Structure 1
Amino acid sequence: MSFLEAISSLPVGPLLLLFVALATAFAFEFINGFHDTANAVTTVIYSRSLPPLAAVIYSGFLNFLGVLLGGTAVAFSIVNLLPVDLLVDARSGAALVMVLSLLLAGVMWNLGTWYIGLPVSSSHTLIGSILGVGMANSLWVGQGLAGVNWQECLKVGLALLISPLLGFLLAGLLLLLLKATVRSPRLYQPPPDHDRPPGWIRTLLIGTCGGVSFAHGSNDGQKGMGLLLLVLIGFLPLHYALTVTEPQRAPQVREAAQYLRDKLSDQGHELPGPVRQAIDLLERELAEKTSFDELPLDREVRWEVRQSILTISRHLKTLVADPNVSPELRQELEQLRKQKLLPAVEYVPVWVVMGTALALGIGTCIGYRRIVITVAEKIGKQHLAYAQGAAAESVAAATILLAAVTGLPVSTTHVLSSGVAGTMVANRSGVQHQTLIKILTAWAFTLPATMGLAGILFVIGRLITG
């Protein structure tokens, strides 16, 4: 089912709000481009390795590629922060207010901090906004703090906390290693006016700039995808409950459920009641179906099929972690979960991937100067040296790419800024404590500030909509 077919069922009012929400989500990713990717082009601009225009176009293109090739694991880490059942179980007005509130909160905070030239994390901003609306909605309906997936929050929070520390330590150690092996004082001193780096260091700086840009696209681009998926699920939950890119997976899901029941029975593993019911539902609803498109657009069918797939998947995840299950069976169950079941509910439409890539890539080419000046001139007491930029960006690219592969959202801004600070300490260049205090303050307050802002916007929206 295409996007145009899906929106044809919406009344005029929700349809207009959907387009506003999609435009705001793409705007968030556009702002993310010039807000966060400015970190990647700082070293090549200040070292005169590339002219500013060439640097941002180069960075923008690699951001674009990073989104296209980076996968979707981080996207679903973002989606899973907010139990999507909230968007479906809530009345339509509440679901729309939730989505619009988190979008507006993210855009407002990112634009405000960019205007004053403060490197803050779009990851913190987005996650804080999601947590804010989830908590506000659950408090509104008297369910305490149940509106947030706290287990997922803990995993994401640890990644956001540890990654800047790794950036600081590893970048500093890498610079010390360079100083011990490459004894060229020119590499460790701020470049004089009109000086250009040696050919090999220029190549390295351009390469590390590209690496950070690609890594940023692969990690932050997926956050944009997750944001857009929240919009689509909030506005069109039945249309996007099951994969629209590979609807022909329906027979695979039914066969996987049947195989699972038989396999576990043969192995002597008793299935819990909810899992047995989920398998029965999939067998019944997907019988003789060659595509999910053959299911009626009925909540009692399509959403229950989705929930049944997720119930079985959660049980498989528990079995895979059980040391009493044989290694061979654990491997088979994990393959069944990842290759047969999850692709039916964890997917990203192609137009969402392309739209996110374009928004992030184009945004990279605009408005980068404010953040560049902060990173290059105001973190250390001296301007960046060639080796400092190469060390900080190499560590940042490796850290962010590793996080993207493992499905953890991390902050390009904080990983790279902390890497620059680490090289300043290792090089004994000194740091500007006032700037570091501002960055640390922004790091500490972005989550609570965006949570509060999103929560306030949600309450205002609910009061207006009744």
Structure 2
Amino acid sequence: MLEMFTGLSFFMGASLFLALAFVLAYEFINGFHDTANAVATVIYTKAMNPHLAVIASGIFNFLGVMLGGLGVAYAIVHLLPLDMLLNISSVQGMVLVFSLLSAAIVWNLGTWYFGIPASSSHTLIGSLLGVCLANALLSDIPISEGVNVKKAIDIMLSLLISPLVGFGVAALVLLLLKKMFTGPKIHKTPQEREQIDGKKHPPFWTRVTLVASAMGVSFVHGSNDGQKGIGLIMLVLIGLAPAQFVLDLDSGKYEVERTRDAAAHLQTFYREHEAKVSSLVDVNIPANAVLPEDFKCNTKNTMLEINTLINGMDGMTHYRDLDVNERRNIRRLLLCIDDAAKKVSKLDGFSGKDKSDLDSLRKDLTATTEYAPFWVIVAVALALGLGTMMGWKRIVYTVGEKIGKSSMTYSQGMAAQITAATAIGVASVTGMPVSTTHVLSSAVAGTMVANKSGLQFSTVKTILLAWLFTLPATIGLSGGLFYLGTLFI
């Protein structure tokens, strides 16, 4: 772990340490900002003691990060355009990281302070878009090239659709629970349960379901949001300590050979499907063609990039013998080749088997670039888990009392949590970042409508305004900080 500081000046080493601290602070704040939503219903319905609930939620968040994989992490990383990701210098990396994290932390703390269930995912993505747009303006390149538009659209669609799904599905789940369980106990509010039955806690199986679904939300929150922190740390490490992290230096002979073989198989695939890929890939590259040292990714040069990679990795068993420039060059080639393969996979005319083969080759190709050291995963898991155990009261009150015109019933709590856990879990498996805050809040709103309780439109309006203004506010804040920082370096 400490080898990351090897070869860095005191200034760059201190900057790296501070940047890592910023990322972990962001995850800590994310813990008590977002996970309050995960425990809101279980605390409000008195299914668990608040202190026990947040401790248990912290543990399940920790486990979610540890077991969640890296799909969402690199969805966040690749929100940056490929050229920016490849060419970022150490100083630019430092400015980028501090700009986007400062914007994200300020917005998260502000919305938490006012008890507004705002989205940490929106905040992070807005901050990333802000630095991309500012970089495009400073570099005098078109906005469409300065932002990974396709990835941004995919992520924004995910963030837009997931609350709508949460609203509709939670309403249907509640109606199903009402049809299946006609007894009054499950459909009481905590206040009605205490006044009528003289009991503080929900019925046993209702309580078990509420606790289990709350821990499920906590686990998938850790899996989804924890990966965002992992992606941020990898951006920091690649930008500020490239010698150690542009490639996975722990890769052995098998991983290196698998990477080289994937490139060779891609080359064969393009030759076999020349007619289908010719619009993107020039299969007939001259034998004496050579890539310039400062080359940019170009799908037409994919075969030449593959040749260069295969020749450069010939006989290689691990990456540690390479100097930093050679490591950078291999990473550049791998990302360019993968980007071309991703574009090829979207062409018409390929069978399902062909597309599956391309996906498998892409996974093998990027296995040594899309990785995270174990200590990074543990650090993010601890920061998110510990943050979960603080600051939950403000959001719990908003979710339990201020979304609907009447108090939340046990069945509403179950419907909202089951829906949120399922939706966020599916998003994590598919590698798409979603907002725990908005999925759960919209699920609660859906149950209120289905229960004919009505909504408190002042609260709904506040949540919607936070949803609308988070992106422009964080884009402006992070972009402005990046612009100012770049002017003074």
Q: What code does the residue aligned with 2:266 have? A: L
Q: Distance in 2 between matches of 1:85 and 1:462?
A: 17
Q: Distance in 2 between matches of 1:268 and 1:94?
A: 39
Pair 84,96 (structure 1): closer, same or farther in 2 beyond 3 Å = farther
After the TM superposition, which residues 10-409 of structure 1 pair with which residues of structure 2 at under 5 Å, given as runs? 10-83=8-81, 85-86=83-84, 88-145=86-143, 146-192=145-191, 193=194, 195-248=200-253, 249-262=255-268, 264-265=270-271, 272=282, 273=285, 274-298=301-325, 301-338=326-363, 340-409=364-433
Q: Distance in 1 between matches of 2:330 and 2:187?
A: 60
Q: Match of 2:289?
A: none
Q: Distance in 1 between matches of 2:265 and 2:486?
A: 46
Q: Match of 2:291?
A: none
Q: Match of 2:295?
A: none
- Structure 1 residue 263 displacement after superposition: 5.0
> Deviation string for 1:102-153 (max 9, x for gaps)?
0111111111111111110000000000100111121122224232101100
Q: Match of 1:455?
A: 479
> Deviation string for 1:210-267 (max 9, x for gaps)?
1100110111111111111111122123432212342542222222323333454356
Q: Match of 2:4?
A: 6
> Deviation string for 1:43-96 (max 9, x for gaps)?
211221110111011111111111111111111110011135425534543331
Q: Distance in 2 between matches of 1:285 and 1:440?
A: 53
SS in 2 for 1:292: coil
> Deviation string for 1:353-400 (max 9, x for gaps)?
111111111110111111111111111122211000000000000000
Please, what is the CA RMSD of the aligned residues?
1.8
Which region of structure 1 is more displaced relative to structure 2, 378-387 or 92-101? 92-101
Q: Distance in 2 between matches of 1:65 and 1:80?
A: 25
Which region of structure 1 is more displaced relative to structure 2, 279-288 or 356-365? 279-288
Pair 326,47 (structure 1): closer, same or farther in 2 beyond 3 Å = closer
Q: Select the residue among 436, 441, 448 that pairs with 1:424.
A: 448
Count, aligned residues? 460
Q: Distance in 1 between matches of 2:403 and 2:344?
A: 48
Q: Distance in 2 between matches of 1:428 and 1:388?
A: 12
SS in 2 for 1:143: coil
8 Å CA contact 1:129, 1:454 repeated in 2 = yes
> Deviation string for 1:156-195 (max 9, x for gaps)?
0000001001111110111111111211223223222452
Q: What code does the residue aligned with 1:188 have? A: H
SS in 1 for 2:245: coil
SS in 2 for 1:253: helix
Q: What code does the residue aligned with 2:365 have? A: L
Which region of structure 1 is more displaced relative to structure 2, 320-329 or 435-444? 320-329
Q: What code does the residue aligned with 1:277 have? A: L
8 Å CA contact 2:242, 2:324 repeated in 1 = no
Q: What code does the residue aligned with 1:296 have? A: D
8 Å CA contact 1:31, 1:110 repeated in 2 = yes
Q: Distance in 2 between matches of 1:318 and 1:42?
A: 42
Q: What code does the residue aligned with 1:124 have? A: H
SS in 2 for 1:293: coil
State, as a whole percentage, how many aligned pairs show the same letter: 48
Which region of structure 1 is more displaced relative to structure 2, 84-93 or 364-373? 84-93
Q: What code does the residue aligned with 1:255 have? A: D
- Structure 1 residue 37 displacement after superposition: 0.5
Q: What code does the residue aligned with 1:276 have? A: M
- Could you state the TM-score of these two structures normalised by the residue count of structure 2? 0.90
8 Å CA contact 1:75, 1:225 repeated in 2 = yes
8 Å CA contact 1:128, 1:446 repeated in 2 = yes
8 Å CA contact 1:319, 1:330 repeated in 2 = no
Pair 238,86 (structure 1): closer, same or farther in 2 beyond 3 Å = farther
Q: What code does the residue aligned with 2:127 have? A: S
Q: What code does the residue aligned with 2:386 have? A: I
8 Å CA contact 1:245, 1:349 repeated in 2 = no
- Structure 1 residue 198 displacement after superposition: 0.6
Pair 144,317 (structure 1): closer, same or farther in 2 beyond 3 Å = closer
- Could you state the TM-score of these two structures normalised by the residue count of structure 1? 0.94
Pair 49,105 (structure 1): closer, same or farther in 2 beyond 3 Å = same
Q: Select the residue among 443, 461, 478 that pairs with 1:437.
A: 461
Q: What code does the residue aligned with 1:288 have? A: G
Q: Distance in 2 between matches of 1:364 and 1:209?
A: 13
Q: Distance in 2 between matches of 1:430 and 1:263?
A: 58
Pair 39,310 (structure 1): closer, same or farther in 2 beyond 3 Å = same
Pair 245,122 (structure 1): closer, same or farther in 2 beyond 3 Å = farther
8 Å CA contact 2:168, 2:443 repeated in 1 = yes
Q: What code does the residue aligned with 1:6 have? A: M
8 Å CA contact 1:135, 1:147 repeated in 2 = yes
